[in-house]
C-alpha cells in the first residue's frame, strides 16, 4: 500500500500536471468504488464541470480540491496509483498513447477510473485489486468524515515538534511497530517505513512503547523524519504496484535498509535480517543490532 512518501510523490506530481484543469467527463468500469455519493450518477454530478484548484495529502489520503467548494478524496489502498496521460479505449482495454512506462509497465494498465480533463489529458486510477476508496462531496462534509478526523498528526509537519511527539507516548502501550503504524497515533507510516525507521533507530520491533526512554524517543523522532524525507526525495518505494503519476518506479526500494531483506546481511553490523509476525503483519529487523527495550 502506498505510504506517506508515495502519496506525497503522487500529490506533488498532480499539482504540477492537473492543477487548474477542469474535469469534463468521468468513466469507470467499477461503480462499486462509489460509497459517497453512493452511485455513479450522483458522483458525476459533483465532479463533472469542476476545476481542480489544488491537491493535498492527509495521511495516506489524496485530497483533490475542486471549484464550488467540492472535494474529491482518493485513498489508493493496496494496488492503486494515480496516473496522468492520454489513453484510447481499444476493444474494451485502455491503451496509452504515450510511450514509456504508461504503455509498457503492466502495473499501469489496470485503469478502473478515468477523469477526462479539458486539455485532452486524463487523470486515471490504475488499481489491479479494485480496493481503492473514492469519496466526493462538499469540502466540509469530507473533511469531517472519520477517514480524516481520526487521523493522528503529520510526522513531517513543521509544528510536529519532539515535545509533541514525546507527549503522544505518555499513556501509550503496545509493541512499537504496530504503534507506529496506527494511523490514529501518527498518520502516514505503514509496513515499509515502520521497518526502516526502527532499523535506523536500532530499536527492535517487539520493544514496548511504554518502555522507551526520552533518549530512545529522540532517536525515533529523528529517524522518522530522516527516513520519510529520504523516501520522498527518491519518489517512494516500488516494491509492488506503486508508480508515480508518469508511471515511473520510485527508487527507495533500491536503497532500503531492512524491509523484505530477510536472510540478507545487515548493512550496519553484518547480522542476518530476520522476519517475524506482529499483530498479523510482517516485521523485518536485525536481531544483532536492534535492541529489545
Radius of gyration of the chain measured on its C-alpha atoms? 20
Q: Are residues 25 and 140 in the same domain?
A: yes
Q: Are residues 136 and 166 in the same domain?
A: no
Q: Are residues 10 and 31 in the same domain?
A: yes
Q: Are residues 32 and 100 in the same domain?
A: yes
The whole-number pLDDT of residue 221 equals: 98
Within a domain: residue 293?
no
Task: Over range 243-261, report the average pLDDT.
Answer: 98
The CATH number that applies at residue 278 is: 1.10.8.50
Q: Are residues 137 and 174 in the same domain?
A: no
The whole-number pLDDT of residue 164 equals: 98
Count of domains observed in the chain: 2
- State pLDDT tens for residues 63-94: 999 999 999 999 999 999 999 999 999 988 99
Q: Are residues 143 and 212 in the same domain?
A: no
Within a domain: residue 98?
yes
| Residue 222 contacts residue 200 (beta carbons within 8 Å) | no
Q: Which three cell numbers stand for residue 65?
A: 480540491
| Residue 201 contacts residue 219 (beta carbons within 8 Å) | yes
Provide the residue range defining the domain that includes 223.
162-285
Q: Are residues 252 and 204 in the same domain?
A: yes
Give the residue from 149, 183, 211 where a domain finishes. 149
- State pLDDT tens for residues 157-190: 999 999 999 999 999 999 999 999 999 999 999 9
Question: In the predicted model, is pLDDT for residue 249 greater than 90?
Answer: yes
Rounded to whole angstroms, the Cα distance separating 74 from 76 reads 6
Cis peptide bond N-terminal to 204, omega within 30: no
> Catalytic site residues?
2-3, 60, 281
The whole-number pLDDT of residue 54 equals: 98
Within a domain: residue 292?
no
| Residue 198 contacts residue 204 (beta carbons within 8 Å) | yes
Q: Are residues 101 and 186 in the same domain?
A: no
Burial of 159 (0-12, 13-18, 19+ CB in 10 A): exposed
The whole-number pLDDT of residue 92 equals: 87
The whole-number pLDDT of residue 53 equals: 98
Rounded to whole angstroms, the Cα distance separating 51 from 58 reads 20
Give the residue from 95, 123, 149 where a domain finishes. 149
The CATH number that applies at residue 85 is: 3.20.190.10
Within a domain: residue 227?
yes
Within a domain: residue 154?
no
| Sequence-ordered list of residues with C-beta below 8 angstroms from that of 215, at least 6 positions apart, any chain | none
CB count within 10 Å of CB 16 equals 11
Give the position of cell 550496519: 268
Q: Which three cell numbers stand for residue 100?
A: 514509456
Within a domain: residue 70?
yes
Give the residue from 91, 122, 149 where a domain finishes. 149
- State pLDDT tens for residues 261-285: 999 999 999 999 999 999 899 999 9
Within a domain: residue 155?
no
- State pLDDT tens for residues 93-108: 999 999 999 999 999 9
Rounded to whole angstroms, the Cα distance separating 102 from 244 reads 10
Residues across the chain: 293
- State pLDDT tens for residues 206-227: 999 999 999 999 999 999 999 9
- Of all residues in the chain, the percent with pLDDT exceeding 70 is 100
The whole-number pLDDT of residue 200 equals: 98
Greatest CA span in the chain, whole angstroms?
61
| β-strand pairing of 122-127 with 133-138 | unpaired
Task: Over range 33-59, report the average pLDDT.
Answer: 97
| Residue 147 contacts residue 187 (beta carbons within 8 Å) | no
Residue (of 227, 223, 205) closest to 292 by Cα position:
205
| Sequence-ordered list of residues with C-beta below 8 angstroms from that of 92, at least 6 positions apart, any chain | none
The whole-number pLDDT of residue 50 equals: 98
The whole-number pLDDT of residue 1 equals: 85
Q: Share the mean pLDDT of the chain.
A: 97
Rounded to whole angstroms, the Cα distance separating 111 from 227 reads 31
Rounded to whole angstroms, the Cα distance separating 204 from 200 reads 10
User: Is 225 strand, coil or helix?
Assistant: helix
Q: Are residues 107 and 169 in the same domain?
A: no
Within a domain: residue 254?
yes
The whole-number pLDDT of residue 43 equals: 98
- When pLDDT is cut at 50, 70 and 90, the band that residue 205 belongs to is very high
Q: Are residues 167 and 129 in the same domain?
A: no
User: Is 19 strand, coil or helix?
Assistant: coil
Q: Are residues 10 and 138 in the same domain?
A: yes
Q: Are residues 125 and 180 in the same domain?
A: no
Amino acid at each position: 500500500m502506498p505510504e506517506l512518501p508515495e502519496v506525497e510523490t503522487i500529490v506533488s506530481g498532480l499539482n504540477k500536471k492537473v492543477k487548474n484543469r477542469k474535469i469534463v467527463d468521468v468513466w469507470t468500469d467499477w461503480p462499486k468504488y462509489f460509497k459517497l455519493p453512493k452511485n455513479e450518477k450522483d458522483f458525476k454530478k459533483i465532479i463533472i464541470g469542476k476545476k481542480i484548484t489544488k491537491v493535498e495529502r492527509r495521511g495516506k489520503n489524496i485530497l483533490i480540491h475542486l471549484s464550488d467548494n467540492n472535494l474529491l478524496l482518493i485513498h489508493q489502498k493496496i494496488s492503486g496509483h494515480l496516473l496522468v496521460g492520454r489513453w484510447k479505449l481499444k476493444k474494451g482495454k485502455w491503451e496509452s498513447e504515450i510511450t514509456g512506462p504508461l504503455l509498457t509497465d503492466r502495473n499501469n494498465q489496470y485503469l478502473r477510473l478515468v477523469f477526462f480533463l479539458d486539455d485532452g489529458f486524463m487523470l486515471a486510477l490504475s488499481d489491479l485489486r479494485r480496493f481503492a476508496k473514492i469519496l466526493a462531496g462538499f469540502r466540509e462534509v469530507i473533511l469531517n468524515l472519520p477517514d480524516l478526523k481520526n487521523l493522528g498528526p503529520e510526522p513531517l509537519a513543521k509544528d510536529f515538534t519532539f515535545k509533541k511527539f514525546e507527549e503522544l507516548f505518555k499513556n501509550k502501550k503496545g509493541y512499537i511497530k504496530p504503534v507506529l503504524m496506527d494511523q490514529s497515533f501518527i498518520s502516514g507510516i505503514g509496513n515499509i517505513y515502520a521497518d526502516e525507521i526502527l532499523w535506523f533507530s536500532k530499536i527492535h520491533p517487539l520493544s514496548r512503547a511504554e518502555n522507551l526512554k526520552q533518549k530512545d524517543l529522540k532517536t525515533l523522532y529523528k529517524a522518522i523524519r530522516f527516513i520519510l524525507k529520504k523516501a520522498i526525495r527518491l519518489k517512494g518505494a516500488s516494491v509492488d504496484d506503486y508508480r508515480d503519476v508518469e508511471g515511473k518506479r520510485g527508487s527507495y526500494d533500491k536503497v532500503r535498509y531492512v524491509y523484505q531483506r530477510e536472510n540478507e546481511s545487515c548493512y550496519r553490523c553484518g547480522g542476518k535480517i530476520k522476519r517475524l509476525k506482529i499483530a498479523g503483519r510482517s516485521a523485518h529487523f536485525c536481531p544483532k543490532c536492534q535492541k529489545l527495550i
